[in-house]
Structure 1
Amino acid sequence: MNQPFVHPYLPNTAPESRQAMLDAVGAANVDEFYADVPADLRLGRDLDLPAPLVAEQDLTRHVGRLLNRNRPVEAGRSFLGAGTYNHAVPAVVDEVINRSEFLTAYAGEPYEDHGRFQALFQYQSLMGELLNQDVVNVPTYDGFQAAATSVAMAGRITGRRRVLLVSDAHPDKLSKVLDFVAPTIDLELVPTLDGTADLAAVVARLDEDTAAIWVETPSFTGALETAVAELADAAHSVGAILIVGTDPIGLGVLTPPADLGADIVHGDIQSLGLHPWFGGAHAGFIAVHDDTRFVMELPSRLFGLASTDVPGEYGFGDVAYDRTSFALREEGKEWVGTAAALWGIAAGVYLSLMGPQGMVDVGETILSRTAYAARVLSALPGVRLADSAVHFREFVLDLTDARLSAPQLVAALRAAGFEPGVVVGEQQLLVCVTEENTQSDIDSLADAVGAAIADTEENAA
């Protein structure tokens, strides 16, 4: 028992292996690697971990028990959203991305491409058509990263620091962006007015130091911005950029932000053929017009089409590779590492299957069911909508006049087999409706919410 433990799954834990590595780098012990970490930030003791499971079958059983703690929710009885959405995924999407040439290829380099470059080029082309933008990047890690990079790009392009956020952004997204751009951007929040941008307040805060106006439509609460064109004009009047965050699932029925004056459009493609998967498969996109000032500020990879020496034959590969961190190394504008290219292929398959009419159909379905759900739920006693904006997929219920709080309502509905939404305030619940929620599902939710309110009132009496 006095011998150091050699872990069965972690390499180089044997004492002789550890010593050989220390000797190779000239270190006396592992602690030297953490010399720059202040002592008060170190734990100062071993982690309190359970004994290792040295037999593979024991580990398999342990992990199986952990996974069995997950509780699946029937699609029609879940109204969860807030960034990860339960949209329908055609079976062929999973079939294609599970092909070995896509699933196991690391990044799609020429030596193991096998069609990966072409698939991502087609994804970019389909996204470009949907967004009505000329250039779309190979996916970033997620939509949060796409937002942060878009804001950073605006600062680099204009040489200015101030960016005005004029929408209710996802709190986690906002946290990511703030952390990412803090050294170069001063992000200022302009409070919304009844769910959407307060145009007068935004215009009053614009000046020659403003790099960009950042709009989210739909916003975190699902509100659709109606003044994108006016915000674009206001931004451009002072030499600033309009950045718009959006969700591509709605662009079959909603006007693309680029048509309203957006310079940079970003978002997440999770809604395009990617499952929720306990938090989602996420990937971000950034789209710009064919303007060198913008294209050369994109840090992520772009794939293009080029002719070859063989007439009628074409190849696919990097465009403007010299602007990436792969080429510039420490001089790169941002570091770009392993991206979410597989999810780009999934989204490309989804878009090709849906086609223009399919995107119209899914957009209309979500828009109409969102409106229906908002109407029937806000008609319940003590329940009202938090604002009067037009909403897509999500909206907030205000329970101030009800006798139960949002957490209490969630607990009551879970007991009835529903996930009614995400608590965003003591008296506020964010409800999400997708094409997976039928009118019957929505009616069942309304009945369950009404019953919970009635039970609370009866108990209070």
Structure 2
Amino acid sequence: MSKRNYPYIPNSDPAVQAEMLKFIGAKSIDELIEQNIPRELLMKAPLKLPQPYAAECDLVRHVSGILNKDKTANEMACFLGAGCYNRYVPALVDEVINRSEFLSAYAGEPYEDHGRFQACFEYESMMAELLDCDVVNVPNYDGSQAAGTALRMATRVTKRDEVLIPATLNPDVARAVKTYLHPDVKVTTVAYDRTTGRLDLNDLKAKLSDKIAAVMAMNPNFFGIVEEEAQQVADLAHAAGALFVVYAEPSTLGVMKPPFQYGADLACGDIQALGIHMNYGGGVGGYMAARDRPEIVREYPSRLFGLAPTSHGEWGFGDVMWERTSFAVRDRAKEFVGTHAALWSIGAAVYLASLGPKGMQELGKTILQRGLLLRKRLASVKGLTVCPLSGATFQEFVVRFENKTVAEVNAALLKKNILGGFDLSRDFPELGQCALLCVTERTGEDDVAALVKALAEILA
């Protein structure tokens, strides 16, 4: 242990430490931990910490100098998506979620309720309208947990213990799902068609059985390709007695059919694209949605807010089927409900209310148009192939570099103040040196021109 007073580490003053040790009857801090931590894991020398700043203003100047070296997507042309999207967040969203009624250090849950339950209810209602369903939860941690939870719900509904997920599921989501379902649920991956990039129906048919609880599809999938045969996937799943679960990015639904219009039993995903800043990848919240089917609704582990008349003749907002949750049954709960992203639901509610149905449609059309513009301009660049997979795309699409690696191209783009696409070569080596490019409503024509010019120079 350090023998000096270090102001950023609590109780590092030697005199304070000595007083605490004397009070509890221990000779040293080492005595407290030696029976719990193996000696080989203990540090053999003090930490090499820099000299601390004594004045707060000096510390702020030092830390600000470090932070100012960073560049954000706001300062660059950004073509990186892959699950976290550079959307425009209306100023109204930040204004509302930073109000003291909502902002809190824990779960968006202040000690007194000032309309939070109603705000969450309004979020659920607007999400249900967007998804064309009846029941949407208060957000859980992120889309990955929502996907894992939705699949576990399916196992409880069907009393089966195997699920099928697509090879075109976001790799980060797939890894989280496999971890979340381990060890009692078997997860099998369904291949994708190497020509279209869509789910391989023949492989799906071969892997379906009376043991399968759920078939999952991502739409659009990780390649940005629309699963045009999703209804057939639903029909095959249902014929085998399985549920059909769709992982859908909700901001696409202004122009795409919602999952419940092509046979979904459950939908899930992340709400980051609905008015939540990227926050270095941390602005995330998961949603789960379903029709009003009691056998499915009973399996929701997370909070659901509903509307009910009060004894005073007014309307109130509160938990639906409270007995489902770990708050009520604790050790017998289906899953535990912990720190949820309730604050993000309020941000998403403000975003959805601000745009409205027409605004969501305009958002989708804008993204489609800018994606088409980028694809058209890139077609003239030598050294790359646009969309080597033939399926129709939305928001994201694949490009293949012929003579350079994605890492080399992205490094060169970064020098030109451009954030390149997601490198697919690690998770999908069969595609070669392919990148996943993303456009949003913030992708301007000047951004497109800058990328096309830069790639022409880099690949020449």
* Normalised TM-score (structure 2): 0.90
User: Partner of 1:428 in structure 2?
Assistant: 434
Residues 85 and 47 of structure 1: is their aligned pair in 2 closer, same or farther, counting only changes over 3 Å? farther
User: Partner of 1:442 in structure 2?
Assistant: 448
User: Partner of 1:458 in structure 2?
Assistant: none
**How far apart are the structure 2 equivalents of 1:19 and 1:315?**
54
**1:17 is matched with which residue: 17, 20, 25?**
20
Deviations 1:97-146 (A, max 9, x none): 11111112744669511011110010000000000111101011111111
Equivalent position SS for 2:302: coil
User: Partner of 2:80 in structure 1?
Assistant: 80
Residues 73 and 269 of structure 1: is their aligned pair in 2 closer, same or farther, counting only changes over 3 Å? closer
- 1:343 has 2:349 as partner: no
User: Partner of 2:290 in structure 1?
Assistant: 288
**2:311 is matched with which residue: 302, 309, 314?**
309
User: Partner of 1:391 in structure 2?
Assistant: 393
**How far apart are the structure 2 equivalents of 1:231 and 1:303?**
32
User: Partner of 1:159 in structure 2?
Assistant: 159
User: Partner of 1:206 in structure 2?
Assistant: 208
Paired AA for residue 244 in structure 1: V
Report the Cα offset of residue 84 of structure 1: 1.0
Report the Cα offset of residue 94 of structure 1: 0.7
Please give the residue correspondences for 1:182-261 in structure 2 after superposition, counting only pairs within 5 Å. Answer: 182-193=182-193, 194-261=196-263
Equivalent position SS for 1:100: coil
Mapped contact 2:79–2:421 kept (Cα < 8 A): yes
**How far apart are the structure 2 equivalents of 1:344 and 1:20?**
47
Paired AA for residue 422 in structure 1: F
User: Partner of 1:409 in structure 2?
Assistant: 409
**How far apart are the structure 2 equivalents of 1:270 and 1:286?**
14
Report the Cα offset of residue 236 of structure 1: 0.8
Paired AA for residue 380 in structure 1: V
Equivalent position SS for 2:269: strand
Deviations 1:425-452 (A, max 9, x none): 2611111100111234223311221122
Residues 152 and 12 of structure 1: is their aligned pair in 2 closer, same or farther, counting only changes over 3 Å? farther
User: Partner of 2:459 in structure 1?
Assistant: 453
Residues 201 and 221 of structure 1: is their aligned pair in 2 closer, same or farther, counting only changes over 3 Å? same
Equivalent position SS for 1:101: coil
User: Partner of 1:103 in structure 2?
Assistant: 103
Paired AA for residue 33 in structure 2: V
Paired AA for residue 93 in structure 1: V
Runs of 5+ unmatched residues, structure 2: 426-431
Mapped contact 1:167–1:215 kept (Cα < 8 A): no
**How far apart are the structure 2 equivalents of 1:395 and 1:31?**
55
Equivalent position SS for 2:383: coil
Equivalent position SS for 1:102: coil
User: Partner of 1:330 in structure 2?
Assistant: 331
Mapped contact 2:108–2:343 kept (Cα < 8 A): no
**How far apart are the structure 2 equivalents of 1:370 and 1:21?**
66
User: Partner of 1:60 in structure 2?
Assistant: 60
User: Partner of 2:429 in structure 1?
Assistant: none
Deviations 1:266-317 (A, max 9, x none): 0111110111222241111000111121112111111111111222x21111
**How far apart are the structure 2 equivalents of 1:170 and 1:105?**
30
Aligned-residue CA RMSD in angstroms? Answer: 2.4
Residues 179 and 18 of structure 1: is their aligned pair in 2 closer, same or farther, counting only changes over 3 Å? farther
Report the Cα offset of residue 155 of structure 1: 1.6
What is the aligned residue count? Answer: 443
Paired AA for residue 96 in structure 1: V
Deviates more, 1:417-426 or 1:234-243: 417-426
User: Partner of 2:319 in structure 1?
Assistant: 318
Mapped contact 1:257–1:265 kept (Cα < 8 A): yes
User: Partner of 1:147 in structure 2?
Assistant: 147
Deviates more, 1:157-166 or 1:422-431: 422-431
Paired AA for residue 231 in structure 1: V
**How far apart are the structure 1 equivalents of 2:92 and 2:79?**
25
Deviates more, 1:74-83 or 1:174-183: 74-83
Equivalent position SS for 1:175: helix
Report the Cα offset of residue 209 of structure 1: 0.3
- 1:356 has 2:357 as partner: yes
Report the Cα offset of residue 51 of structure 1: 4.1
**How far apart are the structure 2 equivalents of 1:395 and 1:172?**
18
**How far apart are the structure 2 equivalents of 1:54 and 1:206?**
63
Residues 215 and 49 of structure 1: is their aligned pair in 2 closer, same or farther, counting only changes over 3 Å? farther
Report the Cα offset of residue 76 of structure 1: 6.8
**How far apart are the structure 2 equivalents of 1:188 and 1:346?**
35
User: Partner of 2:49 in structure 1?
Assistant: 50
**How far apart are the structure 1 equivalents of 2:192 and 2:400?**
17
Equivalent position SS for 1:278: helix
Paired AA for residue 68 in structure 1: N
Report the Cα offset of residue 381 of structure 1: 1.5
Report the Cα offset of residue 65 of structure 1: 2.6
Residues 440 and 197 of structure 1: is their aligned pair in 2 closer, same or farther, counting only changes over 3 Å? same
**How far apart are the structure 1 equivalents of 2:45 and 2:335?**
36
Report the Cα offset of residue 395 of structure 1: 1.1
Residues 370 and 75 of structure 1: is their aligned pair in 2 closer, same or farther, counting only changes over 3 Å? farther
Residues 58 and 422 of structure 1: is their aligned pair in 2 closer, same or farther, counting only changes over 3 Å? same
Mapped contact 1:299–1:334 kept (Cα < 8 A): yes
**How far apart are the structure 1 equivalents of 2:366 and 2:125?**
25
Paired AA for residue 211 in structure 1: A
Runs of 5+ unmatched residues, structure 1: 455-461
User: Partner of 2:428 in structure 1?
Assistant: none
Deviates more, 1:365-374 or 1:240-249: 365-374
Deviations 1:2-34 (A, max 9, x none): 9855554454554233665788xxx961344x4
Paired AA for residue 231 in structure 2: A
Paired AA for residue 60 in structure 1: V
**How far apart are the structure 2 equivalents of 1:93 and 1:170?**
27
Residues 293 and 75 of structure 1: is their aligned pair in 2 closer, same or farther, counting only changes over 3 Å? farther
* Normalised TM-score (structure 1): 0.90
**How far apart are the structure 1 equivalents of 2:187 and 2:3?**
50
**How far apart are the structure 1 equivalents of 2:235 and 2:23?**
64
Mapped contact 1:217–1:224 kept (Cα < 8 A): yes
Residues 333 and 223 of structure 1: is their aligned pair in 2 closer, same or farther, counting only changes over 3 Å? same
